[in-house]
Structure 1
Amino acid sequence: MKIDVRVPTLSDSVASGTLLPWRKQVGEMVARDETLVDLETDKVILEIPAPVSGTLLELRREEGAVVKADEVVAVIETGENGGAGVAAAKPAPAAPATVVPAPAASPVQPPSTPLPAAPAAASSAPGESRREPLSRLRLRVAERLVAAQHTAAMLTTFNEVNMQPVNELRQRFKAEFEVKHGVKLGYMSFFVRAVCRALEQFPLVNAAIDGNDIVWHGDVDIGIAISSPRGLVVPILRRAQTLSPAAIEAAIADFARRARESRLTLEELSGGTFSITNGGVFGSLLSTPILNPPQSAILGMHTIQERPVAESGQVVIRPMMYLALTYDHRLIDGRDAVQFLVAVKAALEAPEALLSEI
């Protein structure tokens, strides 16, 4: 029996995809649910699995072809001719497609997450140049970056925070926290909770523009930028305002693990009302993050650096971090943006309340 291999259902915002190199060739045996080819779309990379076991009889579309949902891309022979036996004659229900997220516009990995090895960069021979097409993912990233800068009136305000109180609190509770919850006490739980508290005071920073309307969000859904082998992704921490420090750290650790394993879902990468990006994990001292539309604000964290600061008329050395808030000035005035960032700073410099549920 001949069974068609079809492109899986795509999301409403993804019309087509490009076939990457085939993992199997005509005449080879394939097992049910085995990945035959990857499909690169504007947002993610989907794995197209074999619906049945058998022999790959025909490749209908070649590497590089642009295909649409439900389009037949290959044919598998089952039964005696395909060497798969009677049990394989009937196709199994389509397995959920594994998604590999596209790189995000302005993301960085949380400091509590181990960094994956960076993929080797392609190079050219000395004295020579080489040319290759941009992937659909990189083209989409470029499109979003340019669109964000042309659509929103982006402005960035800066502040700095003394991280010594957070460091002392982490040092005091980290062993107890890890034993009790099975996850390390990182910086992100402090920042997420500080952001949620500040957004309670300044809900406009959590809102968005939709045409001529303001959309006020009842929940704080924070995008947490994470590094993965295929690029930078921003899974969403849903209803972050309701989460304990342990729940935040566990969720971020889970996101990071599944990003490395290419097991994040489209739903986990969709939506979000605010984002946090951490250039500090890569050594960035200061940057201006780019908005992730339709969100109206993004907080940039940076490296912690010991610097001399003045306290009560004395010069002391403190672990300092620059914070950057990029916001859409069409919606958010400078006063609200600055006060929001000051509220985040104040929460981080008196962090006991942020760790009230350890």
Structure 2
Amino acid sequence: MHEVAVPRLNANDETYLLVEWLCAEGQWVRHGEPIAVVETSKTATEVTAERDGILHHVRPARSECRHNDVLALLFPGPTPYEKFRARRDGDGGDDEDGDGSVEGPVLTNSARLLADAHGVSAERLRNLGKRVIKRADVARVVRTAEPEPEVERRELPRNQRAVAEVVSESHRTIPPGFVAVKVNVDRALACAGRLAHRTRRLIGLPELVVKAIGWLPAQFPLFFVTPLGDNTVRPATGAHVGLTIDVGNGLFVPVVREVGQLGITRISEILLDYRTRAVQDRGFGPGELSDANIVLALHNDPDVVLAGPLVHPGHVCVVGLAGICQELALDDEGAVAPRKICNLGLTYDHRLVNGGDAVRFLRAIKTMLEAPEELDWEGDG
């Protein structure tokens, strides 16, 4: 008796699929004749007979198999084949067939103990197609037979489920582009400090960026429109800036409306109120979380050097403000001096905005932040 084993077909696959038998059970086959089709993740391959003989199927069609598993047996003639069938069917017969092969697999002691402990039947072990069954073989059978353990399931918080819906919809519907610029924020931070001292309000880089965005709708109208589908958009009435706030109890994006008509003092008051309510977990009204037409995503931890957030469905772009860090650079006189910088990113819907316009949009904000003394931060234009 000769065993026909599964050849190594694909190094990336642990298991293959025995698609079909090309020769019937009990058929006489010749050396080199295709007897079965085995499929991997890449292709289907014919397994051929390695010698002449009567074919016996060890595994049924449409079953999984592995490299070196026995697919079939080849018997040199009718007498050993009939003896094998008699023993298999329980009709008696000798312990050995005509070529000295012993019927059925041999179990190691540890394999037999494990099989007995888990009630693995001899039939299931014979179906492995191996002459010697080891403990690892029985363990694999046990694992596939036992049901998966019950796992603990916890539902995501409502706020995070809402975030998941937005993220999934963004990935599904918006083809994004991304660009970023480096901004020297030394003068912006100094300006924010002076404004905070004069107004006795909390004013920092986020407040300045919100105000800067509010000056841009006239120059970059497509960045603030609402896409309606069918290559149409709804024009914006102004800059309604959503600001991401995450203090550890969920992500919120409350909106500062008509930013272009607000001074920096009023913007700082609105943002402080939003942050306070987020920290105190007092929530936001529906009107405060809707109608934004652009978002400023804050990733202003010092360790965050670049941020490319997702475009919210119904928007064209989102600005990402990364953390402030220090670097050494050459000043106007060629001397090495420290400076504070941050990276300002823009993720945009590439169907409506092209890369060149995205860069110009960021450069407009960069210009305002790098020369803040030239602007009226309390004005509306």
2:360 to 318, 324, 339: 339
Task: Give the CA deviation at 1:299.
Answer: 0.6
Aligned-pair identity in percent equals 28
Query: Could you say what secondary structure the match of 1:298 adopts?
Result: strand
User: For residues 300 and 281 of structure 2, what CA distance do their matches in structure 1 show?
Assistant: 24
Task: Give the CA deviation at 1:172.
Answer: 3.3
Task: Give the CA deviation at 1:314.
Answer: 4.2
- Determine if the alignment matches structure 1 residue 329 to structure 2 residue 347: no
Contact 1:284 1:302 in 2 (8 A): yes
User: For residues 355 and 302 of structure 1, what CA distance do their matches in structure 2 show?
Assistant: 25
Question: What does residue range 313-328 of structure 1 map to in structure 2 within 5 Å?
Answer: 313-328=334-349
Residue of structure 1 in register with 2:165 after alignment = 143
Q: Structure 1 length as normaliser, TM-score?
A: 0.59
What whole-Å deviation, never above 9, does each CA across 1:113-152 have from its counterpart, x for those lacking one? xxxxxxxxxxxxxxxx854233444333222212101201
Structure 1, 255-264 or 293-302: larger mean CA deviation = 255-264
What is the number of equivalent residue pairs in this alignment?
A: 227
Residue of structure 1 in register with 2:155 after alignment = 133
Contact 2:211 2:377 in 1 (8 A): no
**What is the identity, as a one-letter code, of the residue corresponding to 1:147?**
E
**What is the identity, as a one-letter code, of the residue corresponding to 2:240?**
D
Aligned pair in 2 of structure 1 residues 264, 133: CA closer, same or farther (>3 Å)?
Answer: closer
Which of structures 1 and 2 has the larger relative contact order (alpha carbons within 8 angstroms, sep 6+)? 1
Residue of structure 2 in register with 1:152 after alignment = 174
- Determine if the alignment matches structure 1 residue 227 to structure 2 residue 246: yes
What whole-Å deviation, never above 9, does each CA across 1:148-168 have from its counterpart, x for those lacking one? 012011111010100011122
* Unmatched tracts of structure 2, length 5 or more: 1-150
Task: Give the CA deviation at 1:305.
Answer: 0.5
- Determine if the alignment matches structure 1 residue 254 to structure 2 residue 273: yes
Contact 1:193 1:354 in 2 (8 A): no
Residue of structure 2 in register with 1:237 after alignment = 256
Contact 1:207 1:216 in 2 (8 A): yes
Aligned pair in 2 of structure 1 residues 162, 132: CA closer, same or farther (>3 Å)?
Answer: same
- Determine if the alignment matches structure 1 residue 196 to structure 2 residue 214: yes
Contact 1:190 1:354 in 2 (8 A): no
Contact 1:194 1:354 in 2 (8 A): no
**What is the identity, as a one-letter code, of the residue corresponding to 2:308?**
T
**What is the identity, as a one-letter code, of the residue corresponding to 1:340?**
F
User: For residues 264 and 161 of structure 2, what CA distance do their matches in structure 1 show?
Assistant: 37
- Determine if the alignment matches structure 1 residue 304 to structure 2 residue 300: no
**What is the identity, as a one-letter code, of the residue corresponding to 2:350?**
H
* Unmatched tracts of structure 1, length 5 or more: 1-128
Residue of structure 2 in register with 1:163 after alignment = 185
1:206 to 224, 246, 253: 224
User: For residues 375 and 284 of structure 2, what CA distance do their matches in structure 1 show?
Assistant: 28
What whole-Å deviation, never above 9, does each CA across 1:179-230 have from its counterpart, x for those lacking one? xxxx222222211121122333111111121012111101110001112453
**What is the identity, as a one-letter code, of the residue corresponding to 1:196?**
G
**What is the identity, as a one-letter code, of the residue corresponding to 2:218?**
E
Structure with higher Rg: it is: 2
Query: Could you say what secondary structure the match of 2:300 adopts?
Result: helix
Question: What does residue range 48-197 of structure 1 map to in structure 2 within 5 Å?
Answer: 130-178=152-200, 183-197=201-215
Structure 1 runs (4+) greater than 4 angstroms displaced: none
Contact 2:222 2:353 in 1 (8 A): yes
Contact 1:206 1:217 in 2 (8 A): yes
User: For residues 225 and 167 of structure 1, what CA distance do their matches in structure 2 show?
Assistant: 21
Query: Could you say what secondary structure the match of 2:373 adopts?
Result: helix
Query: Could you say what secondary structure the match of 1:199 adopts?
Result: coil
